[in-house]
Amino acid sequence: MILVQGTLLHRGKANDVYTTGNENLLIIDHSDRISAGNGAKTDVIFGKGKSNNAVSELVFNLLEKVGVKTHFVERYSDTAMVVKRAEMILLEVICRNKTWGSFCKRYECDKGITVFPAGVEFCLKDDALGDPFMPEWAITTLGYATAEEVKLIEQFVRKANYVMLELFDKLGLELIDFKLEFGRLKDRSIIVCDEISLDTCRLIDNKTGQNLDKDRFRNNLGGVKEAYEEVLNRLK
Ligand code: UDP
């Protein structure tokens, strides 16, 4: 496909979104910017954008194969991909296979407790409010999604979890949890949007028990660049 990158539509914390010559398509460029704590801490990690673009592409392709539609169209460059333009659903959907992160803070519990079947939780995508947890009745009352959409999204997340657990296991990584975002196409069908990368998945190396994900940055563990590089190398 010959597509011309247009103007910058949105500069996010980590990614830049561009218009294209086709109104139904956008280009997402994964930058090397990294941030945590709602932008409180920022840095630049050389090669992160390339790693995130590659992991996202791989997972999106895998999801398509099992019938979970995504916004992925094709790779544009080492750091960018062409995606379908969708109306974003303002929810962050988290899937947990083990207790970790904000879950442990919320309930003051140990990390690493197995969650089976996986826990799926919906949060409002709103930085100013700190992405608060949202029960289904609140989502439907406030019109963020219909009950049918919530049900479908949960099915998509569970299916994605199933294939992602298997994929990352093959790479020697345990998928602890991850976040997905969704959008609606003009025909109202629901697709997975945004990215699925080390920024949005928590992954533990099977051999060393170390995080190979954004937690290295969030928790000042060091070796951030090396972690993004390591996972990119395992894909090859
Ligand atoms: N996550 C994300 N964006 C967010 C919040 C969470 O991608 O704004 C991902 C995060 O990388 C992890 C999972 O969702 O893989 C669960 O995160 P959690 O709720 O435990 O919050 P955190 O520990 O990241 O504050």
According to the CATH classification, is domain 87-235 in 3.30.559.10?
no
The pLDDT-based confidence of 216 (bands split at 50, 70, 90) is very high
Q: Say whether 107 sits in a helix, a strand or coil.
A: helix
- pLDDT, averaged across the chain: 97
Which spans in the chain are helix H? 48-65, 101-107, 136-141, 147-170, 215-218, 224-235
The pLDDT-based confidence of 210 (bands split at 50, 70, 90) is very high
Q: What is the pLDDT of residue 119?
A: 98
User: Which atom of ligand 1 sits closest to the CA of residue 38?
Assistant: 8
Q: Say whether 134 sits in a helix, a strand or coil.
A: coil
The pLDDT-based confidence of 3 (bands split at 50, 70, 90) is confident
Per-residue model confidence as pLDDT tens digits over 72-84: 999 999 999 999 9
Fold of 8-84: Phosphorylase Kinase; domain 1 (3.30.200)
Per-residue model confidence as pLDDT tens digits over 6-52: 999 999 999 999 999 999 999 999 999 999 988 899 999 999 999 99
| Residue % of the chain over a pLDDT of 90 | 96
Give yes or no for a contact between 105 and 50, defined as CB atoms under 8 angstroms apart.
Answer: no
The pLDDT-based confidence of 222 (bands split at 50, 70, 90) is very high
In this structure, the residue with its CA closest to atom 3 of ligand 1 is 200
Q: What is the pLDDT of residue 5?
A: 86
Q: Compute CA distances 57 → 3, 62, 93, 154, whole Å.
A: 18, 9, 19, 21
1 pLDDT higher than 80: no
125 lines ligand 1 (CB under 6 A): no
181 lines ligand 1 (CB under 6 A): no
How many Å lie between the centroid of ligand 1 and the Cα of residue 27?
24
52 lines ligand 1 (CB under 6 A): no
User: Which atom of ligand 1 sits closest to the CA of residue 103?
Assistant: 20
Ligand 1 pocket, mutate which of 202, 220, 231 (most atoms under 8 A from CB): 202
Q: What is the pLDDT of residue 38?
A: 85
pTM: 0.97
Q: Say whether 161 sits in a helix, a strand or coil.
A: helix
Per-residue model confidence as pLDDT tens digits over 124-180: 999 999 999 999 999 999 999 999 999 999 999 999 999 999 999 999 999 999 999
Q: Compute CA distances 4 → 8, 15, 90, whole Å.
A: 12, 18, 28
Residue extents of the structural domains in the chain: 8-84, 87-235
Q: What is the mean pLDDT of residues 93-112?
A: 98
Give yes or no for a contact between 47 and 57, defined as CB atoms under 8 angstroms apart.
Answer: no
Geometric angle at alpha carbon 236, from 93 and 225, rounded to 5°: 65
User: Which atom of ligand 1 sits closest to the CA of residue 214?
Assistant: 11
How many Å lie between the centroid of ligand 1 and the Cα of residue 217?
13
| Per-residue three-class SS string for 164-191 | HHHHHHHCCEEEEEEEEEEEECCCCCEE
The pLDDT-based confidence of 4 (bands split at 50, 70, 90) is confident
